């Protein structure tokens, strides 16, 4: 026996004729093509692929010691309570799918790899891997929610040239030298919110021309480098986060912005960071309406005793600042208020309707 997997840039590459007489580690391989309306819950599985299948339920499957554990290509399925262990890639997904992955557990070299994929939802999964948790390449409309990334020895979630994805309500108790979430190479329009990221190297890294992403309501703390690192990426909006106790050494910062324009950092709690609350280098930043840990505002370029703002060839607007922390209730109000304002900007008639109602 040896490892097995299939990959390619078109659906045709995944059409293979493989039956259960083929085995891996003494267990049959299941390669289902164009199957419909089935429940799959075999107890002995060496490898499982679903290619262009519809309305499949996969339950209680465990696969180990392979190249790919599970493979889904342009398939509509629900995957529940499955586990992959010690594979090179636990779960590989290609193409436009309708996949719901619930209570999936992974500890592989690489947890999950999504390649030109769309319409996939991870719910309440526990993802681990020596090379990282979930990597999303050239993909969109992926949702990762209420998952735990406790056994990732590289970055938790990585987006590469991917757009319109949601990463929310996850927990990242990180290992040393690891980032929680990374956006690379033209990843845009993604929403990262309500995550808890702590203990590792860095929280959220947005770089490589990754524009127009929104980061809000995250709790980011006890990291060795930066809570949020924004570099070479424009028009990103960071609001209603708590970023605190980033305190490993003298080069750490709650938020670091480098060569990025029109960055908005508003209504965050930025406090008790060892060196800098905000470090801005060769950029412009709107950092108004933040709580800096002190009523009298930020220190550094600011007049107060709060977290330090450091600038180098940068413009940072920090006035006015908040004189008390942003509470969660206020966060919700501000979020919906911001949504309402954006709707009014797009549909001016709404303002007249609201004025009439009020």
- Does residue 272 lie within any of the structural domains? no
Note whether residue 258 is domain-resident. no
Angle at 28 between CA 48 and CA 95, to 5 degrees: 15
pLDDT at position 185 is: 96
Check residue 347 and give its pLDDT: 67
Structural domain that includes position 24 = 1-154
What pLDDT does 134 receive?
98
- How crowded is residue 326: how many other Cβ atoms within 10 Å of its Cβ? 21
27 within a domain of the structure (yes/no): yes
- Specify the number of domains making up the chain: 1
Instruction: Return the ∠ at Cα 132 (arms to 5 and 177), rounded to 5°.
Output: 155
pLDDT at 137: 98
DSSP track, 328-348? HHHHHHHHHHHHHHHHHHH-T
Residue 312 included in any domain: no
206 occurs within a structural domain = no
Q: Does some domain include residue 106? A: yes
* Residue 130 falls inside a structural domain: yes
Q: What is the mean pLDDT of each run of 10 residues along the chain (358 residues)?
A: 83 95 93 97 95 98 96 98 96 98 96 98 96 96 96 93 98 87 97 95 96 97 95 98 87 94 97 95 97 98 97 97 81 53 61 50
Can you give the pLDDT at residue 355?
47
pTM over 0.85: yes
Residue 111 in domain: yes
pLDDT for res 199: 86
């Amino acid at each position: 026996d040896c490892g097995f997997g299939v990959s390619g840039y078109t659906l045709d590459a995944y059409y293979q004729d493989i039956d259960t007489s083929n085995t891996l580690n003494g267990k049959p391989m299941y390669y289902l093509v164009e199957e419909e309306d089935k429940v799959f819950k075999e107890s002995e599985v060496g490898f499982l692929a679903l290619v262009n299948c519809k309305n499949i339920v996969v339950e209680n499957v465990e696969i180990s010691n392979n190249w790919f554990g599970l493979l889904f290509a342009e398939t509509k399925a629900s995957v529940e309570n499955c586990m992959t262990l010690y594979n090179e890639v636990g779960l590989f997904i290609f193409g436009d799918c309708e996949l719901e992955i619930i209570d999936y557990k992974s500890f592989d070299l690489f947890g999950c790899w999504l390649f030109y994929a769309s319409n996939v939802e991870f719910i309440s999964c526990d993802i681990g891997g020596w090379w990282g948790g979930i990597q999303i390449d050239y993909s969109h409309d992926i949702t990762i929610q209420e998952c735990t990334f406790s056994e990732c020895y590289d970055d938790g979630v990585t987006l590469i040239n991917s757009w319109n994805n949601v990463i929310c309500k996850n927990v990242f108790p990180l290992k040393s030298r690891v980032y929680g979430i990374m956006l690379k190479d033209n990843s845009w329009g993604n929403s990262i919110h309500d995550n808890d990221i702590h203990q590792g190297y860095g929280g959220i890294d947005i770089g490589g021309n990754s524009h127009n992403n929104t980061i809000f309501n995250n709790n980011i703390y006890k990291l060795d480098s930066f809570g949020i690192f924004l570099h070479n990426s424009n028009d990103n909006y960071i609001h209603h986060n708590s970023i605190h106790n980033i305190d490993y050494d003298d080069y750490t910062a709650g938020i670091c912005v480098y060569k990025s324009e029109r960055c908005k950092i508003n209504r965050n709690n930025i406090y008790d960071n060892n060196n800098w609350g905000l470090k801005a280098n060769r950029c412009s930043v709107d950092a108004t309406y933040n709580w800096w840990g002190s009523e009298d505002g930020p220190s550094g370029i600011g007049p107060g005793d709060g977290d330090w703002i450091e600038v180098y060839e940068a413009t940072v607007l920090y006035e006015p600042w908040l004189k008390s922390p942003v509470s969660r209730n206020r966060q919700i109000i501000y979020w919906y208020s911001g949504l309402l304002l954006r709707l009014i900007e797009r549909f001016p008639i709404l303002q007249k309707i609201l004025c009439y109602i009020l």
